[in-house]
Copies of this chain bind each other. A is one copy, B any other.
Amino acid sequence: MVKRINFINPFGSSAYDDIIRKTLSHYCASDTELAVTHLENCPTDIDFFYSKHLIEQSLFEAVMVSEEQGYDAVIVGCLYDPGVRVARELVDIPVVGPLEASFQMAAYYGHSTMVLTDHRKAVPYIQDEARLNGQGHTVRGVDAIDWFVKDMINDRRAVADDVVRLSREAAQRFGAETVIMGCTIIAAIYQEYLMEGGEPSAVPIINPNLMALKMAEGLADLHRSGGYFVARQGFYMKPTGHFDAEFRNARKVWNASKPIFAR
């Protein structure tokens, strides 16, 4: 019996679905059925926090629908882990973010790690995440490769070369034993480069998509066998009781009126 995982690219664009599918399928468990999907009616890029917020609103819908469709787990495929914690308020299936999953699994790859993300604006955001969710004090730093996602997809070889060079420099500067590739698309580009025979980085690079996949598969197994649950008496209390009617109303209206983006 298969476990079904929905890897949602949280962008209003199908541009990144192929490379994720291409670089992730090989690593699936033998009984995993992996869907790679994207959002609609929301910004195509998540570079700024305003667009991240609009995207998250669409994502909540996609996560709730995933649960209704019988998925066993959802991955939100961006290193911002956009909307992941709020989404856990809404559904009973596991919701996995690649940044948190990488923090959680990095210890198996080396004693310390760091994050090398796409551009400068994300650095302080990820530093805060590392402080709240990094394993102990093992995340030694965060730095940026200074590429925008929309440009990367068109010049993959240059991205892969930068990854190899900048990972080595950054790991030395921060004293980290491994590097978490801090952007799902960069990680996919680097993985594709390896699959095409590229020379691996001297400093071990952790692909966050793989970490999210394995975490999602494990939790999906537990969900199916009765071993997964979310504590509902605190942070993840569900909108029940007096809030239930309001929630249903809000969700319905949102769905009726959601913005139509020109792209």
Contacts and interface: CB of A to CB of B under 8 A. Distances in A.
A259 to B, nearest CB: 4
Counting chain B CB atoms within 10 Å of each CB, which of A85, A111, A135 scores highest? A111
Copies of this chain, count: 6
Contacts of A110: 230-231, 234-236
A28 to B, nearest CB: 8
A108 B94 contact: yes
Interface stretch (A14-22, A153-161, A246-254): A246-254
Contact of A237 (B86, B120, B134, B227): B120
Contacts of A165: none
A253 B246 contact: no
Interface in A76-110: 83, 85-86, 88-90, 94, 96, 100, 103-105, 107-110
A216 to B, nearest CB: 9
A210 B229 CA distance: 13
Contact of A104 (B89, B135, B237): B135
A111 B177 contact: no
A236 B177 CA distance: 10
Nearest to A254: B259
11 contacts: A29-B221, A30-B30, A31-B31, A48-B89, A48-B247, A50-B60, A108-B219, A131-B132, A177-B231, A250-B261, A257-B257
A43 B246 CA distance: 8
A222 B218 CA distance: 13
Contact of A231 (B104, B178, B218): B178
B133 A231 contact: no
Nearest to A148: B242
A258 B260 contact: no
A260 B261 contact: no
A195 to B, nearest CB: 10
Contacts of A30: 1, 30-31
Given A89-B50, A110-B234, A121-B235, A133 B135 contact: yes
Contacts of A104: 104-105, 107, 135
A109 B230 contact: yes
A73 B186 CA distance: 29
Contacts of A85: 49
A135 B246 contact: no
Contact of A250 (B50, B218, B228): B50
Given A45-B246, A57-B57, A204-B229, 9 more contacts: A48-B89, A48-B243, A49-B85, A88-B108, A109-B229, A111-B231, A131-B132, A257-B259, A257-B260
